[in-house]
Amino acid sequence: MDWYSIVKLLHIVSATLWVGGGFTLMVLATLADRAGNIQGTLQAMRATGELGNRFFAPMSMLTLAFGLTMCGFWVGFSELWILIGLAGYAATFCIGMFVFKPTADRMAAMIARDGVTPAALAHGQRILRAARFDYAVMLVIIADMVLKPTLHDFAVLAGMVLILAGGGALALGRSRRMVPSAA
């Protein structure tokens, strides 16, 4: 076994934990939201907030570090698929830092101060909508890493654009409105 294979394995494991864990929480929150289960939705969002800095951020950083290591030592940085992957990582990093984290922090503060209110739940809806686009970006990154498109792979690149457009449409679409039940 060579060093490239070890670094590639670590890259894939960290990416799987990062993307898979977050996707699972997003699915749980979406299913709870659709069922009108406010507590289930909040629990999934709370778990996402708690795991964000402790788990998802470190896994995303390890994914980037191992990917950059592979590029720096073996692959290079000039291939289109590398550039698409880095752009996708930058996009999902920005969504996490500038949408998920501050919105989740505001929602948690509102719930701690006022309980579960429609305003706090609206923040939760924003998180779910942003997650739809974020995971479209991650799907593109995964497809990109596996298919390694060049400029001549028009169908693959067009498919990636359609996935991003679909994720954008889902993010901009209307969500089920969570309304707190009278206790």
pLDDT digits 0-9 by tens, 44-101: 888 887 888 899 999 999 999 999 999 999 999 999 999 999 999 999 999 988 998 8
Closest CA to 39 of 180, 150, 135, 163: 180
Q: pLDDT grade, residue 41 (50/70/90)?
A: confident
pLDDT at 182: 45
Residue 112 pLDDT greater than 50, yes or no:
yes
pLDDT at 177: 53
C-alpha triplet 76, 82, 87: angle, nearest 5°: 130
Mean pLDDT across the stretch 170-180?
68
Contact between residue 35 and residue 83 where contact means Cβ atoms under 8 Å apart: no
Percentage of residues in the chain having pLDDT higher than 70:
95
pLDDT at 178: 52
Q: Which long-range contacts (CB under 8 A, 24 or more apart) does 92-98 make?
A: 92/60, 92/134, 92/137, 92/138, 92/141, 93/60, 95/130, 95/133, 95/134, 95/137, 96/52, 96/56, 96/57, 96/60, 96/134
Mean pLDDT across the stretch 139-146?
97
- Cα–Cα distance between 64 and 58 in angstroms, integer? 10
Q: Give the 3-state secondary structure of residue 154.
A: helix
Averaged pLDDT of the chain: 91
pLDDT at 183: 43
Sequence-distant (6+) residues with CB within 8 A of 64 are 89
Residue 125 pLDDT greater than 90, yes or no:
no
Residue 174 pLDDT greater than 80, yes or no:
no
